Amino acid sequence: MEPMTLYELNCLVRDAIADQLPDTYWVQGELSEGREGAGGHFYGEMVQREERRGETLARARVNCWANVYRRLSREFQAMTGESLRAGLTVMVEVSVTFHPQYGYSLNIVDIDPSYTLGDMARRRKQILAQLEADGILHANAELALPLVPRRIAVVSSAHAAGYGDFCNQLQHNERGYHFSLRLFPALMQGARVEESVIEALQQIADEADHWDVVVIIRGGGATSDLSDFDSYPLAACVAQMPLPVITGIGHERDETVLDHVAHTHLKTPTAVATFLIDRMTEAEALLDQLAQQLTRATQERLALHKQRLQHLATLLPLGFRNVGERQSARLQLLSQRLVASARSRQEQERHRLALMEQRLQGLDPQLLLARGYSMTLTADGRLLRDASQVAPGQEIVTRLAKGQIKSVVK
C-alpha cells in the first residue's frame, strides 16, 4: 500500500470533520490564553478543568476573525465590563475546523455574555461565602472609623489617573483641612495585582500606629481589570487589616469582592476624597456643637450661681442682725458673769485681808508687852533671847508696856 503524505492525511481529516461536523456548537470552558493579534484577529486557547483537582481534561485552540471579533468584543464588554482574556469562563458558539498546516481549532462565531456574568457572580459568591465561613467577611467594617481621618495610607499606582485627582482634591479642599498622605505603590492591573496590593497592605499593617485609614484607589483603568480584585487572598488581607479600609476602584457598575470586605466602598477616587473631607467637616461641626453646649452650660451655671449669690445677699443683713443680737446677748451675759465673778473675788480678797490683818495684829509686840511681857535688847537694838548673848558690863535695854529700863550686866 502506497503511504500518504502528512498533508494528504490532514486534508482527509479536514474533509471528514467538515462532513461530520458541519454545524456550529455551543461550548463552555475557560480561556487559558487570549490575545488580539495582527489584523484585529483574536487568538486563544480554551480548556476544561476537573472541578475538584483542577486538572486539565480537554484543550483546544480558538480564534475569532476580526470582522466577527470587533462586534462580539463590544457586546461582551458592554454587558460584562470585561474583555475576552485569560481566566474568564465563557460560552461560545464555534465551528469545528481542521487546517492541514495549523491543525485542530475552534472558530468562534458568537458568544453568550450572560454565561460569563453568571460565572463571575458565582465565583464572587463562592469567595464571599468562604470569607463568611472564616468569620472575617465583616471584620474590617466593624472597626471604628476615626472621627478625624487625617493620616491616610494610599494604595495605588503612582501613575493611576485617579491618584493625582485624589491628592489634589484633598490638598486643595475649600475648608483648608490638612491631610498627611503617603503612597504605598502597587500595581492596579495585570497578573500581579493580587501580589502587589497584598504586599503594600502588609507594609501599612507593620506601621499601623502611624495611620488613621487605608485608601485603595484605582480610577481610570480598564473595566476589564475589575476581576483582579475578586481574589480570596486579597479580600482576606483587606478584611483583617488593623485599620479601616476605604475603596475607590473607579467603577460605576459592579462591586468587587474587595468592596464587600472593605469598611467603606465608594465608586471613584474623587468620591473617596469627598468622603474624607466630609468626615472632617462633620468633626468640625461636632466640635462647634460641643463648644456651644459647653458655652451654654457655663452660662447656665454662672446664672445659677449668680442667682444663689443674690439670694444670699438678701439673707446676709438678716443673718448679720441675728448674729449681732446673739453676740450682744452673749456679751451681756459674759459681762454679768464677769461682774459677779469680780464681786465674788473682791469679797474673797477682802475677807482674806481681814484675816491677815487680824493675824498681824496678833503678832504686834505692843500687845505682848501690854499683857505683862517685856523685851530685852542690846544697846544697838538687837533682841536678846539667850543670856549668853551678853557679857558683863554690857548695857542692855528692857522695854515694858510703858517705858523702858536701861541696865548694865554684872
With vertex at residue 285, the alpha carbon angle to CA 279 and CA 291, rounded to the nearest 5 degrees, is 140
257 forms bridges with which residues in the sheet?
Answer: none
**pLDDT value of residue 70:** 94
- Domain assignment present for 68: yes
Pair (178, 241) in one structural domain: yes
User: pLDDT tens across 224-251, in order?
Assistant: 567 778 889 999 999 999 999 999 987 6
Quote the CA–CA distance of 91 and 88 in Å, as a whole number.
10
Q: Which domain CATH number covers 199? A: 3.40.50.261
**pLDDT value of residue 324:** 67
User: pLDDT tens across 283-297, in order?
Assistant: 888 888 888 888 888
pLDDT class for 252, splitting at 50, 70, 90? low
Is pLDDT of 185 > 70?
A: yes
pLDDT class for 389, splitting at 50, 70, 90? confident
Which letter does DSSP use for residue 39 in this model?
A: G
**pLDDT value of residue 67:** 93
Quote the CA–CA distance of 109 and 176 in Å, as a whole number.
58
- Domain assignment present for 327: no
**pLDDT value of residue 358:** 74
Pair (255, 381) in one structural domain: no
Pair (144, 256) in one structural domain: yes
Residues near 257 by beta carbon (within 8 Å), at least 6 away in sequence = 124, 127, 128, 131, 229, 230, 231, 232, 234, 235
Pair (164, 203) in one structural domain: yes
111 near 90, Cβ under 8 Å?
A: yes
- Domain assignment present for 274: yes
**pLDDT value of residue 318:** 66
Is pLDDT of 1 > 80?
A: no
The SS3 assignment for 233 reads helix
Pair (68, 181) in one structural domain: no
- Least confident piece of the model among 19-23, 201-205, 326-330: 326-330
Is pLDDT of 211 > 60?
A: yes
Average pLDDT over residues 141-155: 95
pLDDT class for 360, splitting at 50, 70, 90? low
Pair (57, 138) in one structural domain: no
Is pLDDT of 138 > 90?
A: yes
Is pLDDT of 320 > 70?
A: no
Q: What percent of the chain has pLDDT over 70?
A: 93
Quote the CA–CA distance of 350 and 344 in Å, as a whole number.
10
Which letter does DSSP use for residue 136 in this model?
A: -
Q: Which domain CATH number covers 43? A: 2.40.50.140
- Domain assignment present for 163: yes
Pair (93, 186) in one structural domain: no
384 near 407, Cβ under 8 Å?
A: no
Is pLDDT of 381 > 90?
A: no
Pair (154, 77) in one structural domain: no
- Domain assignment present for 296: no
Greatest mean pLDDT among 82-91, 103-112, 399-408 lies in: 103-112
Pair (199, 246) in one structural domain: yes
Is pLDDT of 223 > 60?
A: no
**pLDDT value of residue 136:** 95
Closest-CA residue to 212 (of 260, 165, 279): 279
Average pLDDT over residues 162-189: 92
**pLDDT value of residue 319:** 63
- Domain assignment present for 17: yes
**pLDDT value of residue 220:** 59
Quote the CA–CA distance of 98 and 175 in Å, as a whole number.
68
For residue 357, give the amino acid letter: E
Quote the CA–CA distance of 78 and 114 in Å, as a whole number.
11
Q: Pull the grid cell for residue 308.
A: 444663689
160 near 218, Cβ under 8 Å?
A: yes
Q: Pull the grid cell for residue 137.
A: 467577611
Average pLDDT over residues 84-94: 88
pLDDT class for 410, splitting at 50, 70, 90? confident
**pLDDT value of residue 212:** 96
Q: Pull the grid cell for residue 239.
A: 478584611
The SS3 assignment for 97 reads strand
Give the strand pairing for 404-408 and 395-399.
antiparallel
pLDDT class for 45, splitting at 50, 70, 90? very high
Q: Exposure pattern of 113-131 as b/e (b: 16+ CB <10 Å)? A: bebbbebbeebbeebbeeb
**Alpha-helix residue ranges (DSSP H) falling in 21-85:** 66-80
Which residue among 215, 247, 282 closes a domain? 282
Quote the number of domains for the chain: 3
**pLDDT value of residue 306:** 86
**Containing structural domain, residue 29:** 6-111
**pLDDT value of residue 364:** 66
- Domain assignment present for 256: yes
pLDDT class for 141, splitting at 50, 70, 90? very high
Pair (96, 151) in one structural domain: no
CA distances to 123, 168, 301, 307, 316 from 310, rounded to whole Å, are 77, 59, 14, 5, 10
Average pLDDT over residues 176-192: 90
Pair (139, 81) in one structural domain: no
**pLDDT value of residue 155:** 96
**Furthest-apart CA atoms within the chain: distance in Å:** 209
Pair (169, 229) in one structural domain: yes
Quote the CA–CA distance of 174 and 277 in Å, as a whole number.
9
User: pLDDT tens across 116-129, in order?
Assistant: 887 877 888 889 99
